[in-house]
Homo-oligomer: A and B are copies of this chain.
Amino acid sequence: MTPDEFRTHGHALVDWIAAYLEGVGDRPLDTRVEPGEVRARLPEHPPPAPESFTAVMRDVDEIIVPGLTHWQHPSFFAYFPANTSYPSILGELLSAGLGVQGMSWITSPACTELETLMLDWMCELLDLPERFRSTSPTGGGVIQGTASEATLVAILSARWRATAGAVNRDGDTSRLVAYATSQAHSSLEKGLRIAGIGTDRMRVVPHDESFAMRADALAEMIAADRAAGLVPFFVCSTHGTTSSMAFDPTDEIGPICRDADVWLHVDAAMAGVAALAPEHRWVNEGLEHADSYCTNPHKWMGVNFDCDLYWTGDRSALLGALSILPEYLRSEAAEAGAVIDYRDWQIPLGRRFRSLKLWFAIRCDGVEAFRSMVRRHVGMTQELAGAARADDRFDVVAPHPLNLLCVSLRADDLDTANARTDALVEASNASGEALFTRTVLDGRSVLRVSVGARTTERHHVADAWRLLTDLADRI
């Protein structure tokens, strides 16, 4: 492709994307393809000669797009928000066009420095503790690909601190114990497993009826493990669980961790962005106790995946855990301590210029746009909760402080209720009009309504509720 062809095709693709995003609400949400169907429609072997961009885009239209679940659809209420914005898409494009590597400061200084500044901007916009700022003596932030990676980095930092660094040499994790509720994200178990902390040493702390951690139970479990000669080293407190948007009481958990010298990671992947709005800053409660914290603009702030913001108050533990310096990556600036080398703040070595999309979004759309979006989503969810509460066919089964509502169909016994709720999820998703996710909360089948697409308006939520209530009568 020549530069001029790139110009032509690039313009066409930009127009295609605008049309896709403007029209996505008219598409059926749920793809009807069977396993293997997309692949079967594509050539089994690579083409021997170049093809035209037009031919490729024809396949995008006819084969790829019909095989997608449209996450940007205004009636997408499944999983979690994954909204994007036009400036963010352009930020991704610029990152791809520049094609620079930001693994070290020296490999492209602007890539590192803009990222550090964006983390500090976000610290300010979310009103996070001062000690997470890059300008603090011991803290700082970085863009991780995902909250899964943030959790793993937190575990590794904690593991390093609890063993005074010995784990890097002896790999001995045999006495380390971690704590979270059953509602913590699956990436916690995965991260612990990766770090050599088997499930035998992952304690499931009981939760209360709001699915939040019971701090008293945590304190007892830590004490029991300590008495047994084990080393409690890591607690994950979730601010907004995936299943039900529960908030663990970090203000109570924090002092327990401090007294027991345990690393406290707060995972607010889905909900932390709510703090853009001052009235939702309660989501930050207890963060002054956290050793590390993450939230995802790629979920609820219109920034394209991947953009997880990770902060720590103890960057020496992070660097102790992850820093490796081969000869071919040495630089004077890094050795003088004058710069940040983000490769030492993450699992991979390579990294692209991800802060551009956050910078573009904040500057071009403005923070007020994202603040308003958060408020709109929360408002619509509360209205929906009111309707669900007023409808005696439904139970609202968990607190819904933000943009996630969990409902179940009622029945005389639990098994019937669960079967009916499962059938409701299946039937509503099969309609193609809206998409929801099923989960299970303490044995109860639940339909989750996650309100978070950029273009979701009140009428989309109303239509979704009408769909659910219509189906409820027929199940």
Contact = CB atoms under 8 A, between A and B. Distances in A.
Contact of A327 (B5, B101, B438): B438
A214 interface: no
A80 to B, nearest CB: 9
Contacts of A148: 347-350
Given A13-B90, A324-B189, A113 B440 contact: no
B110 A63 contact: yes
Contact of A186 (B174, B196, B326): B326
Interface in A44-76: 44-53, 55-56, 60, 63-72
Contacts of A90: 6, 9-10, 13, 53
A245 interface: no
A117 B17 CA distance: 24
A460 interface: no
B152 A350 contact: no
9 contacts: A1-B85, A13-B97, A47-B362, A68-B109, A89-B96, A147-B349, A167-B193, A171-B173, A327-B440
Greatest chain B CB density within 10 A among A85, A298, A350 is at A350
Contact of A72 (B38, B99, B362): B99
Contact of A439 (B72, B108, B327): B327
Given A33-B110, A148-B347, A347-B152, A7 B1 contact: no
A200 interface: yes
Interface in A7-39: 7, 9-11, 13-18, 20-22, 31, 33, 35-39
A467 interface: no
A46 B96 contact: no
Contact of A17 (B97, B366, B438): B97
A68 B114 CA distance: 11
A152 B242 CA distance: 26
A15 B8 CA distance: 9
Contact of A106 (B69, B120, B243): B69
A311 interface: no
A200 B305 contact: no
Main secondary structure of the interface of A (DSSP, over half): helix
A359 to B, nearest CB: 8
A56 B321 CA distance: 37
Contacts of A37: 109, 113
A474 interface: no
Top 4 closest pairs, chain A to chain B, by CB? A196-B196, A67-B110, A10-B14, A17-B97
Contact of A10 (B69, B93, B193, B322): B93
A467 to B, nearest CB: 20
Nearest to A135: B44
Contacts of A67: 108-110, 113
A294 B51 CA distance: 27
Given A6-B89, A47-B362, A363-B56, A114 B42 contact: yes
A3 interface: yes
Contacts of A298: 350
Contacts of A13: 90, 93-94, 97
A87 interface: yes
A168 B367 CA distance: 43
A195 B194 contact: yes
A437 interface: yes
A431 interface: no
A146 interface: yes
A63 B338 CA distance: 20
B1 A18 contact: no
Given A35-B339, A327-B243, A198 B64 contact: no
A71 B45 contact: no
A224 interface: no
